[in-house]
A = this chain, B = another copy of it.
Amino acid sequence: MADADEYGAQVTKQGSLVRQLKKDGAEPEKIKAEVDKLKNMKGELEKLLKAQSASEPQLNRAAFDQMLVRKFFVVPSFEIHGGVAGLFDLGPPACGLKANILNMWREHFVLQENMLEMDCTNLTPHNVLKTSGHVDRFTDLMVKDDVTGVCARADKLLEDAIDHLIDNNPTMSQAEKDEHLLIQRQADAYKPEEIDVLLKKYDVKSPEGNPFGASFPFNLMFKTTIGPEGTSDAYLRPETAQGLFVNFKRLVEYNAGKLPFAAAQIGLGFRNEISPKGGLLRVREFCMAEIEHFCDPNDKAYPRFELVKDKVLTLFSSDNQLSTGKTEQMTIGEAVGKKMVDNETLGFFLARTQIFCERIGMDPARIRFRQHLKTEMAHYACDCWDLEVKTSYGWMECAGHADRSAYDLTVHAKATNTDLVATKMLSKPQTVEIAKIKLNRKQLGMVFKAEQRAVANAIDDLAQSWANFEPFAAKLEADGKAEIAGFEVTKDMFSYEKKNKTIHEVKYTPSVIEPSFGIGRILYSLLEHCFDIRENDEQRTFLKFKPVVAPIKVAVLALQKDKQFEPIISDLKASLMDLNLSSRIDDSTASLGKRYARADEVGIPFAITVDFDTVSSSTVTLRDRDTMQQIRAKISDIVGLLKALCTEKMVWEDVVAKYGLVAGADEEGEEGEKKPQGKTFIQSTGRGRFSRPTVV
C-alpha cells in the first residue's frame, strides 16, 4: 500500500501541473484530462488517509467518557451546583485504582531506591515562591477577546489553528506540513511578541469571530492570605518540589551527610489553568508524585544503572524533533553512551519510569520519551525528557525528568542566607591558596547592622580561593572600597593575608535531577489503554486492568438466589478480606453471564461462582476476565491462588496448567459460547499481563 504522505506529495504536484496548464492557456481537453486525473488522485488519497488512521488505535471517546461517568470513575466536581471547569472527583473505582498505582509508585521508586519521603504543606508563603521564580515566571501567555472579555491561552490557540489548517488541507505537502508542525511543537516556548506575530499569521480569532488583544503573561498560581490580619500573601503550591528543597538541610543530615540520595513526595499541586479543556488531562487540582535526586554535579553516575542499561526506550530527541520528526528505539545504555541523554542518573530514571508504566499496565507501544527543545528549557537546566503517553487526545506529557543543575538549592540558599551544601571527602588532602580574613566586627556591625552576618559570610566565601579573592582585594587596595554581594565594604572592615591551607573535604551545592509524575494523567491514560471491547459485541466493553492495580480483585457470585449459598459467600468474603483482597458480591437477580459482563465492565479481573457443587464438595469456579476461561478448585485453594495472582507471584496460565479448564462452562451471557480473547484495538505488543513484571 502506498504511503499517504508520499502520495500526498504527488497530488500536490498534479495540482500545480493543472494550475500551470490553465495559466499557459492549454487546450481544454488536455486540461480536463489532467483535472480528472487530479480528482481521481484526491479520492485515492482520501482513502489512503482513512485507511492509515484506521490502522492506528482508535477509541470511541464518547462511549469511553460516558462509561467513566456512568461507572463512577470520574465525575465533574460539584455537578449539582453547576460544576467548575477543570475540577473532577474520583468515584470509588478510580479512587481504588489511584491508591493501588500510588502504592506501586512508592514501592517502585521510594522503597527500591531508599528515598526519603516527605509530606509538606500545600499552602506556601509568598517569599518561598518568589525565591523559586514562580511568582515572576510561572505564567502562561493569555489573550483576551476584545469584545466579550473572555480569556484564552495563546499557545493553545496557535496549536488549534495549525491543527485546523492541516486538517482542512489534505493535499498539503509534507514539507509545508512539517514547517507548521515545527511551529506547533514550540508553541509554549514563544515570547509574547513572537506569539502575537504568529497568531496574526494564522489569523486566530475568538470563537465569536472577535479579534484578540496582545498576549500577556498570566500567573497560574492560586493566591490566598494566611492569618486573620490578611497581610501574609500565600499561594497553593504549583508543584510539591519546593517543600523538599527548603528541607534540604534536614534531609541531608537525616541521610548521615551522604550523597547521592533522593527525596520524594506524593501530594497535590494546583494550577489556575486559563481555560481548561481535555477532561482529566488539564485540571486545576491534581495529584503529583515527585522525586528530587541530589548528586554531585561532577559525578552523575548511578550505581544501579547497570541493571537497566539494556532497557529499550522510544526516544524523541530534540534533534529529531527539529529534523526528521521521527522517534528512535534505543537502549538507554546507548542513549547515555552517545550523550543523547545527558547522564546515567537521568537515564536510570527514564528506564525506571518506562518499567513502572509497563508494570501498572500501560501499552508500551503508546509510550515515548520526548526531549525538551533548547527553547523549552530554563537556562539553568542541563537536559529534560518528558514521558509522553498516547491517548485519544494525542501524545500527552505524563511525567517530566529534568536535570535542573544546582538552581533550586542555590536560590533558596541565597534568599535565606543558609548553607544548602553537601560535603565531599577528597581522596587525598589538597593544598589550596586562600585569604585568611580577620574581621573588624565593630565596624561591620555599625555599618550593616542586621545584615552584618550576610556581609561576613560573603567575604568568607570569596576568601576560600585566593584566585577569586585577589581581584576584589586589588580593587579594595586601589579604591579603598569594593562591592561584594550587593554590599559596599571598605578597607577598615577587615584585614587579610594570603595563606596555604590543607583541605580534606570540599563543600558543593548538589545538582538536582527531578522525575515528576502527574498521577491524574497517568490514571487517565491507563484507563484509555485498558478500555477494550469483546470481539463481535460492540456493546460489551471491558477494562483489562492488571490484577495488581485493579481496584476490586474479585467478584463473588452465586449461581442463583439460594439461602444455602449465603453463609458460604459471607465466609468467602471474610477470607478474602483477611488477605486484603477487595471483593464485590453481586447478589442481583441478573443471569450469571450478565453479572460476569458487569464485573468485566469495571475491570474486576476474577470472578468466583458458588454453585450446588460448592455445597457438596467445597469447590467453586474461578473465572478469568481476559480469557473468560474457568477452572474449579477447593475454596481454600482458590483464595491462595487469588492472592498469588494479584501479587504477581503467578499468572492465569499457571493456574490453568495446574487445575485444567472447566469443560463446557457456558454461562457467558446470551451468546452461550466462549470467546477466546477480547479483540484489542491496541497494537499487540507481546507484553500483556501474562508476562511477569520486569524487576530491576
Contact = CB atoms under 8 A, between A and B. Distances in A.
Interface string A192-217: 00000000000000000000000000
Interface string A568-609: 000000000100101000001000000000000000000000
A548 to B, nearest CB: 13
Interface in A65-107: 72, 75, 77-82, 84-92, 94-96, 98-99, 106-107
Contacts of A150: 229
A106 B225 CA distance: 33
A122 interface: yes
Nearest to A286: B121
Interface in A233-268: 234, 236, 243, 246-247, 249-250, 253-254, 256, 268
A418 interface: yes
A412 B98 CA distance: 28
A124 B88 CA distance: 11
Contact of A284 (B86, B91, B123, B284): B123
Nearest to A253: B72
Interface residues of A, number: 79
Interface string A121-142: 1111101100100000000001
A526 to B, nearest CB: 16
A274 interface: yes
Contact of A131 (B81, B91, B246, B268): B81
A119 interface: yes
Contact of A416 (B81, B95, B226, B275): B81
B78 A90 contact: no
- For this chain, the copies found in one complex come to 2
Nearest to A268: B122
Contact of A117 (B95, B117, B227): B95
A250 B84 contact: no
A323 to B, nearest CB: 37
Contacts of A112: 577
B247 A87 contact: no
B89 A117 contact: no
Contacts of A107: 580
A121 B246 contact: no
A254 B124 contact: no
Contacts of A72: 250, 253-254
A116 to B, nearest CB: 5
A590 to B, nearest CB: 11
Given A81-B128, A247-B75, A222 B118 contact: no
A118 B92 contact: yes
B118 A151 contact: no
A657 to B, nearest CB: 24
Interface in A7-40: none
A518 to B, nearest CB: 15
A227 B249 CA distance: 37
Contact of A98 (B119, B224, B588): B119
A493 interface: no
Nearest to A244: B89
Given A90-B118, A228-B151, A80 B125 contact: no
Given A117-B96, A118-B91, A254-B92, A80 B416 contact: yes
A285 interface: yes
Contact of A92 (B91, B117, B234): B117
B246 A80 contact: yes
A228 B81 contact: no
A270 interface: yes
Contacts of A588: 256
A87 B121 contact: yes
A96 B266 CA distance: 12
A296 to B, nearest CB: 21
Nearest to A232: B84
Given A81-B415, A226-B272, A272-B228, A119 B142 contact: no
Given A89-B243, A222-B224, A224-B224, A78 B124 contact: yes
Interface string A150-166: 11000000000000000
Given A222-B226, A227-B274, A228-B275, 18 more contacts: A72-B250, A72-B253, A77-B120, A78-B125, A79-B246, A80-B249, A84-B125, A85-B227, A88-B121, A89-B118, A89-B119, A90-B118, A95-B118, A107-B580, A112-B577, A122-B268, A151-B227, A236-B236
24 contacts: A72-B253, A72-B254, A75-B250, A77-B121, A77-B243, A78-B128, A79-B246, A80-B416, A81-B127, A81-B415, A89-B121, A90-B118, A90-B119, A91-B254, A92-B118, A98-B119, A121-B285, A122-B122, A122-B285, A218-B228, A222-B225, A226-B272, A228-B272, A256-B588
| 8 closest residue pairs by CB, A with B | A90-B119, A151-B228, A80-B416, A89-B120, A92-B116, A222-B224, A87-B121, A95-B117
